[in-house]
Amino acid sequence: MGVTKSIVVWFRLDLRLTDHPALHAACQQGGPVVPVFVWAPEEEGPWQPGGASRWWLHHSLVALDAALQARGSRLIVRVGPTAPALLAISREVNAGAVFVNRRWEPAMRSIEEHAHAALTAVGIPLRRFNDATLFDPGSVRTRSGHPYQVFTAFWKACLQRPEPPAPLPEPGRIKGPATWPSSVAIHALGLLPKPDWAAGLRAAWQPGEAHAQRRLRQFVVESLKAYPERRDFPGVSGTSRLSPHLHFGEISPRQVWHAVTAHLGKVRNAKESRAAWTFLRELGWREFAHHLLFHFPHTVEQPLRPEWKHFAWRQDRTSLGAWQKGLTGYPIVDAGMRELWATGWMHNRVRMIVASFLVKDLRLHWLEGARWFWDTLVDADLANNTLGWQWSAGCGADAAPYFRIFHPVRQGEAFDPRGEYVRRWCPELARLPDQWIHRPFEAPPLVLQAAGVRLGLDYPEPVVSHASARQAALVAWDSMGRISKSA
């Protein structure tokens, strides 16, 4: 009688047990299952996980290992390169196959192909499953067979496809090998920051599958019905805050989809139904981001619209530093950048405001913003980050026109009318009346004095005049058009 071969399950950004296609299929085989995570950040090139992402990854791996141990298994951690690490562990446990959930980021696809070649060369198949998106990004195309570049048409095509499959159940007891292979301790990967600057992240977040599921349930029950009215206001709790859990695969997009559609079946009025579909549309934007990255992988570094290679971006390290530190003199921008630094997250409306300010008021390259977000966001997702920054800069798919320049004062007054958000993150302005909270540089001297605000000392003067910067940006945009036509 032959020896039962093990199945290696290669975990990446799918750090959960429920609705995990590769793990589910491996458990169905009936033999030993060996969960493996390989740490090889250098293989991801210039987009290696940033500081905030590494903090989250550490705690997510710890949570995954604990969940596996509760089911009689454990997480085996190895240090890359990936292909040799997978090959070595497959030989150690007499693996008959390696199962993995696909990823669509360019570097991760390349890593996957190298692993496939190395494993196949010695007769070990790599079996791949679709997991990261609701729909295979390579399968959603226009009638002419081209990738979509307009979101509305893309999402309409997605909604005409069969509904995403129901989530798979979590496994019961997971059968392990007779002898477990060696593993690197998670703390030995050095993911936690030294010195420890993560107190704000710990206060704001709890990584792990259990917390992801709890957050989803809470959002659907308590917040979904008011989502359209509250989602644009950073001073209130109106969004799901599921983005980091989705990025690290602690919850799947299918779980989110079916939780919301199950709720749809219980609602009794059109308002709640619209709220649910408004939220699902935002899940659609995540799909669109992965669709674009799959078809246009060069956009992580280059504009999708080639004429933008001629745009006259400025280089100004002083202005960039003021933006990064939340010291621009525009309260809604500064509040957003300080929230990001403290918590590793920023409200989506504010992300658009601070991005517009960087690429249009300061006219600094969108890659400067993309790289800063990449290092500081706990939900730093390559597809979403690329789409968001190219959208703001006007150089991507379905992008905001460059001449649509957010007015930082008016945006603050519209979406933080009472200044709760600004007062939280810019406490030096807390005593200003609502009328002046978003425009302290225009407040009368007596108002500033009463609020204890000394411009240039307690809070900075604006680094740029929005009116002048707007005009300069439009001139640069017009010049780009003339240059690209003559090129």
Which residues does the annotation mark as catalytic? 282, 285, 313, 348, 366, 389
Alpha-carbon span 178 to 336, nearest angstrom: 52
DSSP state letter for 455: B
Coil, strand or helix: which one is 34? Answer: strand
CA 464 to chain centre: 30
Instruction: Please state the separation of Cα 105 from the chain's center in Å.
Output: 12
What are residue 98's phi and psi, to 5 degrees? -115, 130
Query: What tokens were used for 215?
Result: 């957050």
Whether residue 165 has a cis bond before it, omega within 30° of 0: no
Q: What is the per-residue DSSP string for 115-179?
A: HHHHHHHTT--EEEE--SSSS-TTT-B-TTSPBP-SHHHHHHHHHTSPPPPPPPPPPSSPP--SS
Look at residue 288 and give its three-state secondary structure: helix
- Residue 10, both tokens: 């290669």
Distances (CA, A) of 175 to 23, 73, 87, 178: 12, 7, 21, 9
Which DSSP category does 314 fall into? B
What are the residues facing 35 on neighbouring strands?
9
Q: Are 317 and 184 in contact (CB under 8 A)?
A: no
Residue with token string 């945009």? 477
Which residues have CB under 8 Å from 347's CB, separation 6+? 234, 239, 336, 339, 421
Q: What are phi and psi of 58, to 5 degrees?
A: -55, -50
CB atoms within 10 A of CB 162: 6
Whose tokens are 């008021």? That residue is 361
Q: What is the residue type of 112?
A: E
Single-letter amino acid code for the residue at 127: R
3-state secondary structure of 214: helix
For residue 124, give every residue at least 6 positions away whose Cβ sits within 8 Å of its Cβ, in sequence order, or none: 87, 90, 95, 96, 97, 98
Whose structure tokens read 């200044």? 419
Which residues are CB-contacts of 47 (< 8 A; sequence separation ≥ 6)?
A: 105, 107, 300, 374, 382
CA distance 113 to 378: 27
